[in-house]
Amino acid sequence: MILSLKSLKSHFFFNFRPVRELSRISFLITKVDKEAKHNENRKKNLFIFLTFLSFSTLKAQDKEEFISKLEEINGADDKVKSQQLYNKGVAKMEGKEYSQAIELFNKSLKLNADFAEVYLNRGVSYLKVGQKEKGMADLVEAIFQNPKLDKAYFSMAKEFEKNNELDKSIENYTKSIDLIKKSTFIIIEEV
């Protein structure tokens, strides 16, 4: 029997007894793990639901343990941590703090090397701090990982234009525009 979030909600709402022990919550999470087999979203949704339901009933010392367990579950996946670091890096980029952004992108890539958007943004950050070789290498890697990443072609085109390499610039602008047209067409078709 697969334990669903819906059945858990109905169980708790129809047999409402506040969950008072962290061990009970851990037991339910373990049960979901065994029955749902590697379904991280279900596990996270269950834990969030149980957090909402039982947090107010816990003693102060149990709340600290509960919070650490929540952080452990929410941050256990390297891809999740990588995404969080990427988001922080993008925020630093928006604040024109490119060196700090590069550091965050480096950390993100250590956790998940298959993340084209990180290469794209780290490449742009490198270009902003004057490290052309590293920046262009990252943009090439971003395109290698995701050939439909129009922003990588656009960023390369801008750099080529800045260095008066107009043929390469036009080629990359054209590729970027073609990708934008295709994605726009797909969106229009879906509507």
* pLDDT tens column, 5-51: 444 444 444 433 343 444 455 555 555 555 555 556 666 655 555 55
pLDDT number for residue 150: 92
CA–CA separation, 114 and 179 (whole Å): 21
pLDDT number for residue 11: 44
Closest CA to 57 of 17, 11, 8, 19: 19
Q: Which residues contact 166 (CB under 8 A, 6 or more apart)?
A: 160
- pLDDT confidence of 82, banded at 50, 70, 90? confident
Q: Which domains does the chain have, with CATH numbers?
A: 5-75 (no CATH), 78-190 (1.25.40.10)
What pTM was computed for the model? Answer: 0.59
